[in-house]
Structures are given as C-alpha cells and as structure tokens.
A and B are shown apart, each in its own frame.
Chain A
Amino acid sequence: MVIEASTREKPSFAVIDAIVHKHNVEAGAVIPVLQEIQETYGYVPPVAIQRIAENMNVPASEVFGIVTFYAQFRLQPLGKNLIKVCHGTACHLCGTETVAERLSQVTGAREGETSQDGMFTVERVACLGCCSLAPCIMVNGETYGRLTPEAIDKIVNEIRKKEAKEIPAPVG
C-alpha cells in the first residue's frame, strides 16, 4: 500500500541503496525505484536523486528529468495529512471549485502547498475515478464523495481532533 503521509524519517543511504538493489535487477527500474523512495519518505529527497544516479549508473540530470516529468513525484516533504482534490471533468462540473475554496480556508493550504503548521498538504489531481460521487477528495488514501462545504468542515475537524489526541497541543 502507498504510504501517504510522511514518515518523518531522515533519508539514509542504507535505505536508498536497499530500494535500488531491490528493483535494479530489472531493466528500466528508475521509475519504480523513485516510486518506492517516495512511498518511504513522502517525497523524493534531493540526496536520493544523486545516490540513485550513482548506483544505477545513469546521469543525475536524467533522474531529475524523470522526477520533474511525472506529476506523481514531489521534491518537497509532505505535511502530516495529504489531501488530493479531484479536478476531473465530473467534479469540475459538480462544483469542485467551491469545495476546494472551502478546503483551502479551513486547512490553511492552497492547492500545491503545505499548511504552515505542517498539518496538511493539498494537491490537485486529474480524476480519482469516483466520478459518479462528484465532487470528490482523497484524504490519506481514502476517498470521500458527494462533498459539500459543510462536509469539508467535518472531515478537516475530524483530522484535527484525531491529531490533537495523538500529540498534545503546544501550550500558548
């Protein structure tokens, strides 16, 4: 399964090398390697690009070119919760814009950004494949459909409540 939230670990050569060796038996393994790196860290750390290039014997520029070509890869660390907002055709017609506007208000993150408190990263995606329940968003791998601005409030509040339970809120 895809790990959606950052594991907050520091990138280590040992982990990166293990991932490379796991896939490198196959030809054309750069993309699966990058995918697993991102699964592990929530993003592709710049040191990983250099390390993969050295290990797999491809120029670092080529690895970087792949990272920037494919929308899936990100070069910035993730917030604690990843929210993907569907901007597919059905969702667009059924009012994603209003839902997205509300989402950025309550999370404090516009699309493509991470909120200041590091709690939310909001991304836009092309289609989540749940078009008949438009508009849809995906929160940490789970899809929510038939959304309204009120439903967004509820979803975000629930996440905040859960997070508050896990880590005591800082005083002040």
Chain B
Amino acid sequence: MSWARDKSWLIKVGLASCGIAAGGRKVYDAFSTQFGDRGLDVKLKQTGCMGMCYNEVLVEVSSPEKERIFYGKVTPEKVERIINEHIIGGKPVTEWVIPDEEINSFLAKQTRIVLRNCGIIDPESIDDYLAADGYQAIDKILRSMSPQEVISEVTNSGLRGRGGAGFPTGIKWGFARKSANRQKYIICNADEGDPGAFMDRSVLESDPHSVIEGILIAGYAVGASEGYIYVRAEYPLAIQRLEIAIAQSREAGFIGESILGYNFDFDIKIRQGAGAFVCGEETALIMSIEGRRGMPRFRPPFPAQSGLWGKPTTINNVETLANVPWIILHGADAYNTYGTEKSKGTKVFALAGKVARGGLIEVPMGITLREIVFNIGGGTSTGLEFKAIQIGGPSGGVIPASLADTRVDYESVTETGAIMGSGGLIVMDETSCMLDIAKFFLNFTQAESCGKCTFCRVGTLRMLEILQRITEGNGKEGDIELLEELAQNVKRASLCGLGQTAPNPVLTTVKYFRDEYEAHIYEKKCPAKKCPALITYEIIPEKCPGCGLCTKYCPTGAISGEKKKPYVIDNEKCIRCGLCMKVCRLDAVSVY
C-alpha cells in the first residue's frame, strides 16, 4: 500500500449505489479515458459512500501535497475542465467545489467509527483495508485474548444491537458462549427492511471487510465455526462486493482453517433474502436460511440456545458487527466515552426525505434531532417549515418539530412513542400529510405481515381501512378512538416485533397531530394538501400563458384550452395525480 505516500495526484470517485445511480461510473470512465489518452500520471480510484449523497456524483481530488478538494454533482462533461484547470493548471474549479463551510457543518457534529473507512478506501481492495488497520483486531484477539476477554471487552464498551432492539451485544455473545453445543453459528443480519434506510447497504458496499472481521471476532468469542450473511436481494452491489471481499479474505488466510496459524477455523457464506420484511426478525430469518417460509416463532428458546438447525446461533446486525473491530483495537473505554449513560458509542443514520443535505451520517448517541436536521442536514430541502421527523421506519413513529430537542438514545426516543430502530430518519415538511404517512407505513406492515397472528393479519387491515376511509373524506366520529383501541390490541396480541410495533406510526401521529386527523374527519380537509379525495387542482389564469405542456402529461385528458390562452382543469376528469403541477415551469397550477 503505497498510494498514500505517493507523490502524485489522486482522484477518488464515490461508487456506492447512490453514486452509481447519479452517474458515477460514467464520471469514473471519463477520467480514466482522459488520463489514458493524454498519458497523465494520475492515480484514479473508486471508493464507497462518502456520506454526502445529496451531492452525488462526488469526486475527491488530492494534490501531491495532499491538499484535498471535493467536487459535488460532477458529470462526465465536467471532467475535462477539472483536469485542465485543477490538475494541470493547479487551480481548482471553484464553482464546482463543495465549499469548506458546507463540508464542515455537515461533518462537525459527526463521529466516524462504523464509517471509519467509508468513502476513503476502495471497497474491492483488501490492501486498502489492511492499510487502514484492517484485520488487526482479529490478529490481536487470536494472539492475546481469550474468548471471555473479548466478550468482556465488548460488554464494557456498552455496545447495544443496532438492528433495532438495542440488546447489549456482549451479553448476547455470553449466552451463546455458555451453550455447550459444539456446533454454533453466527448470522449477520443484512436484511435492512426499513423502506427508506440504507445504512447497512452503504457499509457493505463501502467497507465489507470490516463486517467480515466483526463476524470473525464474534465467531471466536462465542465458539462458532460458521457464519451466514443474510443480505437483501435488492442490494446486488453489496452482494457483489461481499463476495469479492470474502474471496480475498479467504485467499489471505483470514477465513478458512487455522486462521493466521491459530487454532481457529471459520467459514462465511452469503444467503440472499427473497423480499420479505418479516425475515429481518431473527427467528423468521433462521427459517428462511433453512429454506422455509419465514414465519417468526415463539421465543424462548432464544436463538442463542436453539437457532439455525437447532444449534446455538448469534444474530447481529451489520452495523453492530462493524463496530466490533474498532472496539477491540481501541478498547472499550475509548468507545464508551461517546454517547449517554445507557446508550454508548455512535449511531449511523440514513438521513432522507425533505432534507437539504441527505446522506449517510454517524453521530454520537445523545445528539438532538434538531442538530441532525439543521446542523447536519441543513434544514428542509424545500425551504418550507420543518414539521416532523420519522424515526425507526415501519416500527417507529413520527416525532413532531416541537420535540426536536429530543436526544437520540434508546430511552429518550422510546419515551416519545417512536423507537430508535435501525437508523432510518425521514424529514418531513409542511406538505407532508401525517395521515398519509401513517397509511403508508400501515400499508407496508399490513402487506408484510406473515399472517400467523390474527391481530397482526386482520387488525392491521381494519386499521388501514379506517385510515383509508378518513383520507377519502368518509371519516366519522369515533374513528380515532377505534384506531387507538385496535392499535392496542394489535400490539398485545402479536407474537413478533412486526405486529407489536406496526401501530406505532398511527399512534404517534394521533398523539402529536390529532388536529390533522380531525381536519380530515370533520372538515373533510387535508391541511398538507396531499390526500386526493380532499383536494382540488386549479390553473391560475393570470399565470398561465397557454403553453399546453400540462396537457401532454395529464393522464386523463382533464386539461383543455386554446393555445396562448389560460387552460382549465375539468374537476370531474381530474384524478389528482399532480403531474400538471410538477411539470408546469411557471407555477401556474395551484392546489387547495
């Protein structure tokens, strides 16, 4: 590994899914072609997610003097000028450079432990990982620590499971260690079901070796010899990079028999999920690996006693495991200086929705939601008022702007009625309807319920029907109370976390936005102007020059008029899809 010390220019292009979706591969190829054609001696590297996804495609240019400049929203067309002016001419193209102040305010409140290598190393290079202290932790424990010492270290760090439930990781490992069975398993849960979150995907795409090293350490600690990584099939790039990393790691002797010459054997396999949210639940996940329908079962016995094929099994989330090598190398005390009394360390969040600077962030526990939304996220993307934040996905809840000073730790978030969850954070502004969001999540959990428990299967459907009725303008007195009652029953009578938490989005929105429910029910109005049955689109004659663009997009032919004269919308034909408003360049379409 010598590039860091090389005396030449270095260019890194962020090629995680988000970067690729924004056109990163074309940018990378443009640099590569130019360097080849012009015979320039510049090092070009791919790297993972740099975190500032809102600025994709991101390119980092480091001079031989190690001065680093970040370009945002790079396109292939911009590449030539960057090369000519910056690399050859020595002057950065300032208009495309992300200003220092912006980077500083995005990063100032962050602490990078899990994301320590993300956006820095090439995820497909084991050499890069090794140069960043990779596989030092597994070397350290094999050389100098007993399994019990590893468990104590992780316990003392205060690390709690990042998959949602927040169970102390060291204690979980201790249970599995105690099981007398000789055959034990480790499962890395990379099913990432929250539809609006991408923490685990980003870590796997950007730094797969750190997760593999975490699995090896867990395996050594509990006495397991086999591990599975259960990844969503929707993440092809994560799967591909994991496969590469496992092959490299095996080749280098970190996976296999007698690892590093010590008496420790471990093998890792990948299993792809097949698109079922409930398979993120640990007992369902085990069923799925066993080749069956993923239906949760009653616990106890816990997987630590009887899991995969009836053998003791430890299940940990991707982020949990990615923390582990750092903890082993830097010590429990270094880790637990971050965070609050009961929630130690950091948490990775996927910040998205109506936020100006969405991306992948890692913050110390105890930071407030306000700091995340405003200091890191830069407020709303629309410039409209910040209304609420959704945390924890389908199992979580909506926290209103008035509680933005809530601290992000397991206990404080739970107090609001939401849950910490796995790291989804969705910012909402005043155009987001709280009933719509409740309906959205309930629709999701209702469809994903495995159907085993009656209340989860039917109760959620009844709740959804009530919400549907209200948003269609047919709500009636008593609906809110009925929703609340059903919600309590669904929570009480469900076996697994899916049903137990499915009502949370409804309960929190009722709790904090009851007036919005009442407006839908009694005034037949949607204050956020979102619910189709309760709104009307209209063309403002003074603003409409009669260009006719909207008629091209209207799916039902509801807009008519003469060229160069204001058009009109036929209310009977209009299905309130909002396409006209979206395509009008002159804001001539209004909604009320």
Q: List chain A positions with a Cβ less than 8 A from chain B.
A: 1-2, 27-32, 34-35, 62, 65-66, 69-73, 87-95, 97-98, 101-102, 105, 125-134, 136, 141-146, 148-150
Contacts and interface: CB of A to CB of B under 8 A. Distances in A.
A109 B278 CA distance: 29
Contact of A145 (B21, B437, B583): B21
B274 A70 contact: yes
B374 interface: no
Given A93-B426, A127-B234, A101 B20 contact: no
B309 interface: yes
Interface in B189-225: 192-198, 201-202
B526 interface: no
Contact of B426 (A89, A102, A130, A142): A89
Given A93-B354, A145-B21, A149-B553, A72 B233 contact: yes
Nearest to B293: A69
Contact of A29 (B291, B424, B428, B555): B291
A130 B390 CA distance: 17
Given A69-B276, A70-B275, A143-B17, A88 B195 contact: yes
B578 interface: yes
B11 interface: no
Nearest to B200: A129
Interface string B271-307: 1111111000000000011111110000000000000
B272 A126 contact: no
Contacts of A35: 233, 272, 274
For A69, A93, A148, which residue has the most chain B Cβ atoms within 10 angstroms?
Answer: A93
B381 to A, nearest CB: 9
Interface of B: 17-18, 20-22, 53-54, 56, 192-198, 201-202, 233-236, 240, 271-277, 288-294, 309, 350-354, 358-359, 390, 393, 424, 426, 428, 432, 437, 440-441, 444, 450, 553, 555, 577-579, 582-583
A98 B584 CA distance: 13
A149 B54 CA distance: 20
Contacts of B579: 98, 101-102, 149
Contacts of A73: 274
Contact of B440 (A34, A66, A92): A92
Nearest to B286: A28
B353 A145 contact: no
A126 B274 contact: no
A132 B351 contact: yes
A102 B358 contact: no
A30 B17 CA distance: 29
Cβ-closest 7 pairs across A and B: A89-B196, A28-B291, A71-B275, A70-B274, A132-B53, A132-B358, A143-B21
A87 B441 CA distance: 11
Contacts of A126: 193, 195, 234, 275, 277, 444
B400 to A, nearest CB: 16
Given A131-B358, A132-B53, A145-B21, A93 B428 contact: yes
5 contacts: A28-B290, A34-B274, A92-B440, A126-B195, A149-B582
A126 to B, nearest CB: 4
B395 to A, nearest CB: 12
A126 B469 CA distance: 24
A148 B582 contact: yes
A93 B234 contact: no
B426 A71 contact: no
Nearest to B451: A69
A83 to B, nearest CB: 14
Contacts of B582: 95, 98, 148-149
Contact of B22 (A65, A129, A145): A145
A102 B553 contact: yes
A66 B293 contact: yes
Given A73-B274, A90-B426, A131-B198, A141 B233 contact: no
For B359, B428, B432, B444, which residue has the most chain A Cβ atoms within 10 angstroms?
Answer: B444
A126 B354 CA distance: 18
Nearest to A136: B21
A84 to B, nearest CB: 8
Nearest to A84: B234
For B198, B273, B351, B555, which residue has the most chain A Cβ atoms within 10 angstroms?
Answer: B198
Nearest to A148: B582
A35 B272 CA distance: 9
For A65, A142, A143, A148, which residue has the most chain B Cβ atoms within 10 angstroms?
Answer: A143
Contact of B293 (A29, A65, A129): A65
Given A31-B288, A35-B233, A88-B196, A132 B352 contact: yes
Given A130-B21, A132-B358, A90 B196 contact: yes
Contact of A132 (B54, B272, B273): B54
For A92, A129, A145, which residue has the most chain B Cβ atoms within 10 angstroms?
Answer: A129
Contacts of A128: 17, 234
Contacts of A90: 196, 352-353, 358, 426
A71 B293 contact: no
B465 to A, nearest CB: 20
